[in-house]
Structure 1
């Protein structure tokens, strides 16, 4: 095993504010305590069961977890880069040419990436964030205390019960979360609830998964001494519930028009329309509710305002049921063509990207040069088919002794060679972006000794049930 000291080269001990953390060691043990500092070849930490702070050599460490800090991003859009090794970073797109792509981030300043090592670029409007997490159990209310727990960035249920929290929901809202399960999932997701203490609020929409592949939407309402409940017409067909054990759910809601759309793994599944959206009293509750002892985990929860724009449409169904067992796929994207640029309204224009300045991208088109706000873009091809097939032009970043993998709160990560630390920053480098200085508080956990196969089982233990 390579000495772990090579992973962290520091001139002196880096003092840190005491913070609750967990350290996973190479022997499988887990130590909870407060991280105090890092030296050339060791961590300094303290715990309740220790009389004094003690050092732990880094060659004995698999990973360290850190408190969550989501930072303060700027700009009118969010650009997400996916590198050819699977790493994902988000920020503000500030520059692009044939050789490089520039991204301004709150955690590392402006970073310049080699374009040949960027697999995909997606741009979205920056929309008001209502909630992002989970970070802990704080702020959540359980119908039966102890049923739900918080571990490694996800909420985990070990029995029947509900966990909920109140939010200030706008009229148009987007709910999104990852759901993982064992066997058939049986759960309910409630939103716009007026009571988070119980499992059956008087007012709420309820997405119901009974087991199998069909999802139903139910509504309960009460107002001015009147009440009622009804199921909205149509069943969502989600074959992924039968042959997968993890899906990403998105629910788009327009309380004024009554439109509710369900997407699974980015695929439009079902549109419902509430014929009486004003019936009842709309609350701000969001619930995750298990129906029995089936094990469930919820992670990457994101609640934002929604701009009301719809892309694509659900599959046509005769009576809400589909005979085909084949999982429907999203509409095929246009072939990779660097001259085609896709806008946020799904229009495509032919042009050459000349550069980005002051938040605007300059395009050369057949009808002259055009300047558009970066936020108007959605995506564009970074490589031609020929480039992708040519290994010399389409590259995966090299691995180095001393690489660490640092994870962001949203589940994305970046891999770099850790070379030093100072003043709450981690200094590192990678072939894809050169040298960078990262805010340590941007990461929720850091993995060491990445390429030691003997530690793979320990790394994956967090995903075990």
Structure 2
């Protein structure tokens, strides 16, 4: 009776906004079904599908993930900034920073209201400009142009390459842009990304950029038309990209400033290369983006997010000398660089202040420095230390959440994620509990995927 009551309670899980869309459930043996989520509890999942008879209950131990139809965009709450909280377990949540105390960090989100995180479980907190959203998806084939009919298909929030071909869309020309997407492949990465293209066919592109990723190498070429001739030049190359051979998926990020020519290439959060194009000509560039893939390695593109970028470069700019091939090598048992004993507060303009955050009220931060206390808008901040190096090394002051059997990892449309114990339903939203934030209710269409069975068997269940 207990399981049945939970199923009935969670049967309303599918909200009206996504009720007509398809979900995909995947199992540990590779099987998958399209359909709809009918209910879920700690041991079973109810699944409705035309591929099976009626509604079936499957053991949750065999489920790897459920893909959800992504919303067109993930709204941000009101405010003039975006706070990015990275938790000690790698989770990442975006919203507006409301308050910060010695024990708590409060962030306002669009999908769960106010979330109060334990400060000792937040690894870092960054403040970003509120970006302009150019594209989030995919949510279908609308707006995409293919070089070959049927070369790409859409399924469960992903563009899938069925043959060697390209697919693209017009996102408009923008001087500063951030392009991020997930890509999965088989037997080595082989794909190309065309940006700022002036044609809906990459083969006809006369002005634009081409990022080539294959084997263990990546390089970027620029095409530009001068005096009725199209010239092609390499503006950056790097070797030893181990992710292309050692993995079968990655999160790709490209930061590109057309005016000053700077390009940063990032894989799974690792800065792979910094490049600079000589003699930028931004006015010649177009507004198309294209993905091109080899038919033999089952390429899948998902969680695309294209936004404005404020031009801020995190950390050191590592541009190699002209003509030099960057080769990424594994460090040889080097001791990690020690953290600064008293790390500074960094402002948006690059200024650094030694001090602490005394409090936050009405969108303003009270800074306590050696010379005076004063207020500045939250949006003027870039980053600030949550603890000293000594505190970071103290296990009593910096905790990682306990891993529990039954944890669910939910991926946001914007690429972030949050891990919690799924406990029920409240007003059509997922309800979960976590050591990091207590209890919260999440709007289901904020997520693109739910992952189950995150850890090897043998981890304790919640309450044990």
Q: Please state which band the TM-score falls in when normalised by the shorter chain.
A: 0.7 to 0.9
Deviation at 1:59? 4.1
Structure-1 residue corresponding to 2:229: 228
Of residues 356, 367, 385, the one that matches 1:352 is 356
Once the two structures are superposed, the pairs formed by residues 4-83 of structure 1 within 5 Å of their partners are: 11=9, 13-14=11-12, 16=14, 17=16, 18=19, 19-25=21-27, 29-36=31-38, 44-49=46-51, 53-56=54-57, 59=60, 62=63, 63-69=65-71, 70-74=73-77, 75-83=79-87
Change in Cα spacing, 1:10 to 1:416, as seen in structure 2 (3 Å) is farther
Q: Is the 8 A contact 1:234 1:320 kept in 2?
A: no
Change in Cα spacing, 1:212 to 1:389, as seen in structure 2 (3 Å) is closer
Separation in structure 1 between the aligned mates of residue 275 and residue 10 of structure 2, nearest angstrom: 57
Q: Is the 8 A contact 1:8 1:40 kept in 2?
A: no
Separation in structure 2 between the aligned mates of residue 400 and residue 424 of structure 1, nearest angstrom: 25
Of residues 205, 209, 213, the one that matches 2:209 is 205
Separation in structure 1 between the aligned mates of residue 2 and residue 94 of structure 2, nearest angstrom: 29
- Structure 2 residue 372 is matched with structure 1 residue 371: no
Structure-1 residue corresponding to 2:445: 441
* TM superposition score normalised by structure 2: 0.81
Any stretches of 5+ residues in structure 2 without a counterpart?
460-464
Q: Which moved more, 1:125-134 or 1:400-409?
A: 400-409
Q: Is the 8 A contact 1:9 1:41 kept in 2?
A: no
Deviation at 1:231? 2.7
Deviation at 1:65? 2.4
Separation in structure 2 between the aligned mates of residue 197 and residue 295 of structure 1, nearest angstrom: 22
3-state SS, counterpart of residue 277 of structure 2: strand
Separation in structure 2 between the aligned mates of residue 368 and residue 321 of structure 1, nearest angstrom: 48
Structure-1 residue corresponding to 2:462: none
Q: Is the 8 A contact 1:215 1:237 kept in 2?
A: yes
Alignment RMSD (CA, Å): 3.6
Separation in structure 1 between the aligned mates of residue 213 and residue 202 of structure 2, nearest angstrom: 19
Deviation at 1:204? 2.9
Deviation at 1:342? 1.7
Structure-2 residue corresponding to 1:321: 324
Deviation at 1:88? 1.9
Structure-2 residue corresponding to 1:460: none
* TM superposition score normalised by structure 1: 0.81
Deviation at 1:128? 0.4
Once the two structures are superposed, the pairs formed by residues 33-432 of structure 1 within 5 Å of their partners are: 33-36=35-38, 44-49=46-51, 53-56=54-57, 59=60, 62=63, 63-69=65-71, 70-74=73-77, 75-150=79-154, 153-157=157-161, 159-181=163-185, 185-197=189-201, 199-209=203-213, 213=217, 215-221=219-225, 227-232=228-233, 234-240=235-241, 245=247, 246=250, 248-254=252-258, 257=259, 259-264=261-266, 265-266=270-271, 268-274=273-279, 276-279=281-284, 282-290=285-293, 293=296, 296-310=299-313, 312-317=316-321, 319-322=322-325, 326=329, 335-337=339-341, 340-432=344-436
Q: Is the 8 A contact 1:130 1:303 kept in 2?
A: yes
Separation in structure 2 between the aligned mates of residue 289 and residue 320 of structure 1, nearest angstrom: 26
3-state SS, counterpart of residue 14 of structure 1: helix
3-state SS, counterpart of residue 145 of structure 1: coil
Number of positions where the alignment pairs a residue of Structure 1 with one of Structure 2: 441
Separation in structure 2 between the aligned mates of residue 322 and residue 434 of structure 1, nearest angstrom: 49
Separation in structure 2 between the aligned mates of residue 138 and residue 194 of structure 1, nearest angstrom: 20
Q: Which moved more, 1:258-267 or 1:430-439?
A: 258-267
